[in-house]
Chain A
Amino acid sequence: MTISPEQLDNIALEYKKKVKIYDKVVKICCGTGCISSGSLKLYDRFKDIINFEGLSAKVLVKITGCHGLCERGPIVVFGDDEILYQSVGKRNVDEDVKLLIETIKSNKIADKLLYKGDDKTKRYVSPLDIPFYAGQNRIVLSLNGTIDPEDIDEYIQRGGYRALYKALKMNTDEIIDWVQKSGLRGRGGGGFPTGAKWRSCKDAEGQPKYILANGDEGDPGAFMDRSLMEGNPHAVLEGMIIGGYAIGSNQGYIYVRDEYPLAVNRLLKAIEKAREYGFLGRNIFNSGFEFDITIFRGGGAFVCGESTALMSSIEGKAGEPRAKYVHTVEKGLWEKPSNLNNVETWACVPHIINNGWEWFASIGTQGSKGTKVFSLVGKVKNTGLIEVPMGKSLKEIIFDLGGGIQGDKKFKAVQTGGPSGGCIPAEYLEMPVDFDSLTKLGSMMGSGGMIVMDERNCMVDVARYFLTFLVEESCGKCTPCREGVRRMHEIVERICNGNGNKGDIEHLEELARAINLGSLCALGQSAPNPVLSTIKYFEDEYRAHIEDKKCPAGVCKALIKFSIIPEKCTGCTLCTHECPVKCITGEKKEAHTIDQAQCIRCGTCYDNCRFDAIKIE
């Protein structure tokens, strides 16, 4: 079927009419985060009660993708950001559903479900007033948490596939020109100028050409791409179709990691609908242009996020990277010109076409244009998904949007860029976040994971964590990466166990240089970064482990001992309940003691004690 722009208008109009008959629209977030907090159960129960009360003709209950504030899920939104309820049904589904019904029937706002400010007195009704949302500039995420990801009509009503129509009327060179002038850079980590990549691929010789979307979001601590694929899959498709037209390709692939079953599901449904409506297939918008998209599921290998490894994987081989003497835009998938972009990059494209490159280029900093989605996680109060203009400072992101550190502990560092990135200490909090500034600090933008650490996180342990990760995930092709990272891991492990030697730090630095020089792909080259950046900014912590055999943060189990300060212990028995090995004993209202022989040094008692009665030695 070939669709016309008039039909687009009709679909939008029909959808508007369909929704207009309802008095109220209630949206329940069903992103992965909210689902694990129980939103599907809430949805079912709520629908039942709506039917039971005979309200189904008046109230439209919708499922949406990730709304962002995962920490407070399940999130329920009334209308277009009129009321936001948080943690709905987390404790008691029936009770909270009753409150929702009351809001519907009598417009009574349920105080209990509102987002509360830090001082517990201020209540926020509209999400737009909550600092977490107010400080954002949502472009890529604008429809995430607003539309039903499985309803193509709603995407169209919100302006979807208009950019595709517009692009198909443009000259292909003009499209690439726009993308180039917009200053869009790859959102997956490298930050390579997208327009330049498209141009090289278009100019490359050979047919057919392939369009690829990288949804193999392997960086631990990052879930921007997952939320996008789950929450607004059509935006990714639309961007890819435009890219296909501009470059001269008729086939696209989306590579999604195995750990994201819901994303695969929603993309498949979206593709099916797009085919049915004629956005995919032959003669799209009567332009003569033909394009189709296939989903490819990964197999749980981190290295497949690397461009050449991803292509090997699609070819049905083990996902090992290849040398890039010849770029993938010239010889990529099946040795044909291939243009790979991250899913977030693709989702930016329709916005650039709709609003013009000047608009996109007016947002952000000198070298980094537009906005960037970050997953703000770790020891921050408001964990979740945020989108901010490039150039916002770390401090604004972590303290204004994120609400500061959990339990008002002291901020120690923020880790960006996944296993290829580094840790940035407190003295650089004022630094504006963009591609170039993070690289300057020895970290990198990466795909957008931002993991906040507090005083209770040991930086040597963090380095060990990433090395463990990389030992597991190194594909093994290049010896410096496969063996070198293993050796680095051994050394850091030794340091954490209290057996560090003088000269270990220098040895680590030497290995790091060798790995960087001798590895084929970017993953190997950047593997030492987590160690180098922690040594650079937290050398004293390494020295404390090596020279004094102490772990200042109280994490490295071989170096610490937990004990109870009798004068401070009130005998509240909280720790005895929380202790996983039940090694804390004592009478109620009397000082407790820890059985050192049984203690596994997990720190649960320390983290839960409300009276600072546990000390770490």
Chain B
Amino acid sequence: MEVDVKKLNTILNKYGGDKPYILAMFQDIQKEYRYLPKDALKYICDKLNIPFSKGYEVATFYKAISLNPRGKHTIHVCLGTACHLRGGPNILDAFERKLYVKKGNTTEDGNFTLESVNCLGACALAPLVRVDEKDFGKATPVTVNKIISEFKDGE
């Protein structure tokens, strides 16, 4: 993946090139590319004057950062306690069956990445599914179908 140095510099400058903001920089880069490309990681480490291993440590420690390309849409199935009790695992099962992927993976067409998350904080509407930035509360297997068709390629 080609990274745009200009974009990386803008992100670096936004945080004044300040080391403690490395995670925030990674998050911004991920917003741009939907993952953290290796070249971008290297570039940031060089500019911040820290060893690559340190940057890699931060990038792999936090679940929000992905070193692998992600799908166009990320589906987060919440498996917090309330969602677990109200059938969250069944919703995840349904997505896995319908999309032919296991959680943590991306569909072949690159449209969806399926993830589980340990609580999105909308427990009153369990089970919850978040697609990109949109939440779907009280999800059922019917919601799963609805979500897949709503976010199908091209929409």
Interface segment out of the listed A50-58, A172-180, A217-225, A510-518: A217-225
User: Is residue B114 within 8 Å, beta carbon to beta carbon, of the partner chain?
Assistant: no
Asked whether A71 lies within 8 Å of B124 as measured between CB atoms, the reply is yes
Shortest Cβ gap from A62 to chain B (Å): 22
User: Is residue A182 within 8 Å, beta carbon to beta carbon, of the partner chain?
Assistant: no
Pick from B64, B135, B141: contact of A578, CB under 8 Å: B141
Q: Mark A484-498, 1 if CB is under 8 A from B, else 0.
A: 000000000000000
Asked whether B122 lies within 8 Å of A70 as measured between CB atoms, the reply is yes
Point out the residues of chain B lying under 8 angstroms from A473, CB to CB. Answer: 118
User: Is residue A465 within 8 Å, beta carbon to beta carbon, of the partner chain?
Assistant: yes
Point out the residues of chain B lying under 8 angstroms from A589, CB to CB. Answer: none
Instruction: Please tell me the number of chain B residues within 8 Å of chain A, measured between CB atoms.
Output: 47
Question: What is the bound-complex CA distance between A314 and B118, given in angstroms?
Answer: 22
Question: What is the bound-complex CA distance between A531 and B20, given in angstroms?
Answer: 37
Point out the residues of chain B lying under 8 angstroms from A317, CB to CB. Answer: 54, 57-58
Point out the residues of chain B lying under 8 angstroms from A469, CB to CB. Answer: 118
Pick from B54, B90, B128: contact of A36, CB under 8 Å: B128
Pick from A35, A316, A320, A383: contact of B123, CB under 8 Å: A383
Given contacts A36-B135, A220-B119, A222-B119, contact A451 B19 (CB under 8 A): no
Asked whether B58 lies within 8 Å of A318 as measured between CB atoms, the reply is yes
**Which A450-490 residues sit within 8 Å CB-CB of chain B?**
451, 453, 457, 462, 465-466, 469, 472-473, 475
- How many A-B Cβ pairs are below 8 Å? 157
Asked whether A260 lies within 8 Å of B63 as measured between CB atoms, the reply is no
Interface segment out of the listed A106-114, A275-283, A298-306, A322-330: A298-306
Asked whether A465 lies within 8 Å of B81 as measured between CB atoms, the reply is yes
Q: Mark B54-85, 1 if CB is under 8 A from A, else 0.
A: 10011001111100000000000001111111
Point out the residues of chain B lying under 8 angstroms from A218, CB to CB. Answer: 118-119
User: Is residue A368 within 8 Å, beta carbon to beta carbon, of the partner chain?
Assistant: no
Point out the residues of chain B lying under 8 angstroms from A602, CB to CB. Answer: 87, 90, 93
Pick from B27, B97, B118: contact of A297, CB under 8 Å: B27
Point out the residues of chain A lying under 8 angstroms from B148, CB to CB. Answer: none
Point out the residues of chain A lying under 8 angstroms from B26, CB to CB. Answer: 299
Shortest Cβ gap from B128 to chain A (Å): 7
Asked whether A472 lies within 8 Å of B62 as measured between CB atoms, the reply is no
User: Is residue A415 within 8 Å, beta carbon to beta carbon, of the partner chain?
Assistant: yes
Point out the residues of chain A lying under 8 angstroms from B117, CB to CB. Answer: 259, 300
Question: What is the bound-complex CA distance between A319 and B20, given in angstroms?
Answer: 12
Asked whether B124 lies within 8 Å of A384 as measured between CB atoms, the reply is yes
Shortest Cβ gap from B88 to chain A (Å): 10
Pick from B21, B122, B136: contact of A33, CB under 8 Å: B122
Given contacts A259-B121, A299-B23, contact A378 B81 (CB under 8 A): yes
Question: What is the bound-complex CA distance between A260 and B76, given in angstroms?
Answer: 13
Question: What is the bound-complex CA distance between A459 and B57, given in angstroms?
Answer: 36
Asked whether B61 lies within 8 Å of A318 as measured between CB atoms, the reply is yes
- Using CB atoms, name the residue of chain B closest to A317: B58
Asked whether A299 lies within 8 Å of B64 as measured between CB atoms, the reply is yes
**Which A250-264 residues sit within 8 Å CB-CB of chain B?**
258-261
Point out the residues of chain B lying under 8 angstroms from A320, CB to CB. Answer: 61
Q: Mark B88-130, 1 if CB is under 8 A from A, else 0.
A: 0010011001000000000000000000011111111110100
Question: What is the bound-complex CA distance between A36 and B81, given in angstroms?
Answer: 19
Question: What is the bound-complex CA distance between A71 and B81, given in angstroms?
Answer: 16
Point out the residues of chain B lying under 8 angstroms from A187, CB to CB. Answer: none
User: Is residue B86 within 8 Å, beta carbon to beta carbon, of the partner chain?
Assistant: yes
Point out the residues of chain A lying under 8 angstroms from B97, CB to CB. Answer: 580-581
Q: Which of A35, A258, A299, A473 has the most CB of B within 10 A?
A: A299
Chain A interface residue bracket vs B: 35 or more
User: Is residue B22 within 8 Å, beta carbon to beta carbon, of the partner chain?
Assistant: yes
Question: What is the bound-complex CA distance between A578 and B135, given in angstroms?
Answer: 22
Given contacts A258-B64, A318-B61, contact A600 B93 (CB under 8 A): yes
Asked whether A299 lies within 8 Å of B63 as measured between CB atoms, the reply is yes
User: Is residue B24 within 8 Å, beta carbon to beta carbon, of the partner chain?
Assistant: yes
Question: What is the bound-complex CA distance between A25 and B151, given in angstroms?
Answer: 37
Shortest Cβ gap from A266 to chain B (Å): 14
Given contacts A318-B57, A415-B81, A580-B141, contact A220 B118 (CB under 8 A): yes
- Using CB atoms, name the residue of chain B closest to A418: B81
Asked whether B121 lies within 8 Å of A222 as measured between CB atoms, the reply is yes
Asked whether A32 lies within 8 Å of B81 as measured between CB atoms, the reply is no
Given contacts A218-B119, A220-B119, A375-B123, contact A35 B135 (CB under 8 A): yes
Asked whether B125 lies within 8 Å of A316 as measured between CB atoms, the reply is no
Shortest Cβ gap from B44 to chain A (Å): 11
Asked whether A36 lies within 8 Å of B125 as measured between CB atoms, the reply is yes
Point out the residues of chain B lying under 8 angstroms from A298, CB to CB. Answer: 62, 64
Point out the residues of chain B lying under 8 angstroms from A341, CB to CB. Answer: none
Given contacts A32-B135, A221-B119, A457-B85, contact A300 B125 (CB under 8 A): no
Asked whether A299 lies within 8 Å of B62 as measured between CB atoms, the reply is yes
Question: What is the bound-complex CA distance between A33 and B65, given in angstroms?
Answer: 26
Point out the residues of chain A lying under 8 angstroms from B24, CB to CB. Answer: 296-297
User: Is residue A272 within 8 Å, beta carbon to beta carbon, of the partner chain?
Assistant: no
Asked whether A472 lies within 8 Å of B124 as measured between CB atoms, the reply is no
Asked whether A36 lies within 8 Å of B82 as measured between CB atoms, the reply is no
Asked whether B62 lies within 8 Å of A319 as measured between CB atoms, the reply is yes
Question: What is the bound-complex CA distance between A258 and B118, given in angstroms?
Answer: 12
Given contacts A600-B93, A604-B141, contact A377 B58 (CB under 8 A): no
User: Is residue B133 within 8 Å, beta carbon to beta carbon, of the partner chain?
Assistant: yes
Asked whether A315 lies within 8 Å of B81 as measured between CB atoms, the reply is no
6 more contacts with CB within 8 A, not counting A33-B125, A258-B27, A607-B87, are A71-B125, A218-B118, A299-B63, A317-B58, A383-B123, A415-B81
A sample of 13 cross-chain residue pairs with beta-carbon separation below 8 angstroms, ordered by A number, consists of A37-B137, A70-B124, A220-B119, A258-B27, A259-B117, A259-B120, A259-B121, A297-B23, A299-B23, A317-B58, A581-B97, A602-B87, A603-B90
B residues whose Cβ falls under 8 Å from a Cβ of A? 19-24, 26-27, 54, 57-58, 61-65, 79-87, 90, 93-94, 97, 117-126, 128, 133-137, 140-141
The 7 closest A-B pairs by CB, nearest first: A299-B62, A70-B124, A36-B135, A220-B80, A316-B20, A223-B121, A221-B81
